[in-house]
Amino acid sequence: MGSDRTVAVFGAYGHTGRFVVAELRERGLLPVLSGRDADKLKALAYETGLDARPASVDDPVSLDHALAGAAAVINCAGPFAVTAAPVIEAALRAGIPYLDVAAEIEANVDTFAHFADRAREAGAVIVPAMAFFGGFGDLLVTAAMGDWTAADEAHVAYGLNSWHPTAGTRAAGAVSRQRRDGRRVRYTGGRLEYRHDAPPTLEWSFPDPMGPRSVIGEFTMADVVTVPSHLPVPEVRTYMTVEAARDIADPDTPMPAAVDERGRSDQTFLVDVVVRSGGAERRAVARGRDIYAVTAPLVAEAVDRVLTGRTEAFGVVSAGEVFDAPDFLRALSPHITLELRP
C-alpha cells in the first residue's frame, strides 16, 4: 500500500483520462500518470507537473512500477477487453483497489467472472464500469428501488441530445462487435441473450423539458452487467435516443469539441430510470452535461470513498452494491441534478 492520497491513472492522456486527472487534483488527490504512449505521457507530465510512468499491459514489471506507492488505480485505457485483466492483476499484486470506466459489456462480464473469487479472498475492492454507462445507471436504479430488495424489471433510458464519440469509444465498440460476432445483446430472463435481429424503435416519454422521444428500444449498455450483479432484477433494458444512436453509428461524426474552460462539450443528457415491482413503479431522473466529463466526478468520488472506507462490500462489486447510492448521487450535485420519485 502507498500514500493514501496517490492514485495511479492508467490511460491518463486520453479524453476521459484527462478529465479524471483534473478531477482528482481538484479533490486534493495526487494522480500518477501512466499509459502505453510514452510521448503522450511526457507531454501531459510537462503540462501538469505530475509524475509520469509509462507502462504496457504486456509488461507486468512496468505495471508494477506504475502502481508503486499508489493507494489505488483507475484504469481509463480502453479497449478494456485488452487492458482490464492485466491492470487488475497488477492492482492485486500491489494490494490496492482497482476501478475502471469500462462501458464494454463483455469486458465487465469478464471482470466479474474471472476475479470475483480472488478479490473476495483477498478482501480487495474492484469496481468495474465506474462511469456514465454502467456505474451511473446502477446507482440510479439502486437509489430508485429504495427499500425494495427485488424488482420485476428495470429500464434505463438515455436522453442524449448528441453523441460525438472519442477514439477510445470507437475502438472499444469495434472490439465488442468482434467479440459478439456482429450480434446485439440484451438482458432478459436473468441472463444475457445474443440476437441477430435489429433492435426495436420505440417512443419513450422523458420528463420535461425533453418530453416524448424516439429511442432505440434495446440499445444495450453496461447497466445489464452492473445492475443484475447485485440486484434480483430479471429484466434490465436500456434505451438510447435515436439522434445519439445515429451519431455514434456514423463513422464521420467528429470527436467531442470543448466549449468551456473545463473542456466539456455542449452535449447534454437526461437519464430516466424506471423500476417496476408488481403493480408499483419507482423512478429516478438525472440531468447533466457531457457523458465523458461527468465520468470524472463519478470515478473520483468512488475512489475517494474507497480510500476513506465508505464502502459496503468488497470483491468485484458494482457501484450500487459497494456505495450508499442516494448519498453518492447527492454528492454529485455540482455536476448533476437528481430527482427521486418513490
Question: Quick one: which of 135, 101, 75, 132 has its CA closest to 294?
Answer: 132
Cβ atoms of 320 and 139 closer than 8 Å: yes
Distance of CA 209 to the CA centre of its chain: 26
Domains 6-131+295-325 and 133-290+329-341 fall in the same CATH topology: no
Taking the domains of the chain in order of start, what are their residue ranges? Answer: 6-131+295-325, 133-290+329-341
For each of the chain's 342 residues, which pLDDT tens digit applies?
A: 446 899 999 999 999 999 999 999 999 999 999 999 999 999 999 999 999 999 999 999 999 999 999 999 999 999 999 999 999 999 999 999 999 999 999 999 999 999 999 999 999 999 999 999 999 999 999 999 999 999 999 999 999 999 999 999 999 999 999 999 999 999 999 999 999 999 999 999 999 889 999 999 999 999 999 999 999 999 999 999 999 999 999 999 999 999 999 999 999 999 999 999 999 999 999 999 999 999 999 999 999 999 999 999 999 999 999 999 999 999 999 999 999 987
3-state secondary structure 269-306: EEEEEEEEECCEEEEEEEEEECHHHHHHHHHHHHHHHH
Per-residue DSSP letter, 17: H
CATH of 133-290+329-341, one of 3.30.360, 3.40.1350, 3.40.720, 1.25.40: 3.30.360
Tell which CATH architecture fits domain 6-131+295-325: 3-Layer(aba) Sandwich (3.40)
Helical pair 15-26 and 167-179, crossing angle rounded to 10 deg: 120
